Structure 1
Amino acid sequence: MDLRIHSDFSKLSLDEMKEIYSSVGWTKHTIEIIKQIFEASNVIALVTVNGRIIGFGRAMTDGVFNAAIYDVIVHPEFQKQGIARQIMEYLLDKLSNISCVHLISTSGNEDFYKKLGLKRIKTGMARYLNPNLASEYLE
Structure 2
Amino acid sequence: MDILICNDFTHANLDEMREVYASVGWKKHNPEVIQQVFGASNVIALVYVNGRIIGFGRAMSDGIFNAAIYDIVVHKDYQGQGIAKKVMEYILNQLKDVSCVHLISTTGNEEFYDKSGFKRLKTGMARYLNSDLRDEYLE
TM-score (norm 1): 0.99
Q: Which runs of 4+ in 1 moved over 6 A?
A: none
Aligned to 2:54: 54
Residue range with higher mean Cα deviation, 3-12 or 58-67: 3-12
Q: Which structure 2 residues correspond to residues 19-38 of structure 1 after superposition, within 5 A?
A: 19-38=19-38
Equivalenced residues, count: 139
Note the aligned Cα RMSD (angstroms): 0.5
Instruction: Quote how far apart the aligned CAs of 1:77 are.
Output: 0.5
Alpha-carbon distance between aligned partners in 1 of 2:66 and 2:76, rounded to the nearest angstrom: 31
Secondary structure, counterpart of 1:33 in structure 2: helix
Instruction: Quote how far apart the aligned CAs of 1:12 are.
Output: 1.4
Unaligned runs of 5+ in 1: none
Query: Does 2:38 match 1:45?
Result: no
Secondary structure, counterpart of 1:10 in structure 2: coil
Alpha-carbon distance between aligned partners in 2 of 1:69 and 1:47, rounded to the nearest angstrom: 16
Aligned to 1:10: 10
Alpha-carbon distance between aligned partners in 1 of 2:96 and 2:119, rounded to the nearest angstrom: 16
Q: Deviations over 1:22-56 (max 9, x none)?
A: 11111011111100000100000000001000000
Alpha-carbon distance between aligned partners in 2 of 1:92 and 1:125, rounded to the nearest angstrom: 22
Aligned to 2:102: 102
Alpha-carbon distance between aligned partners in 2 of 1:112 and 1:29, rounded to the nearest angstrom: 23
Unaligned runs of 5+ in 2: none
Instruction: Quote how far apart the aligned CAs of 1:11 are.
Output: 2.1
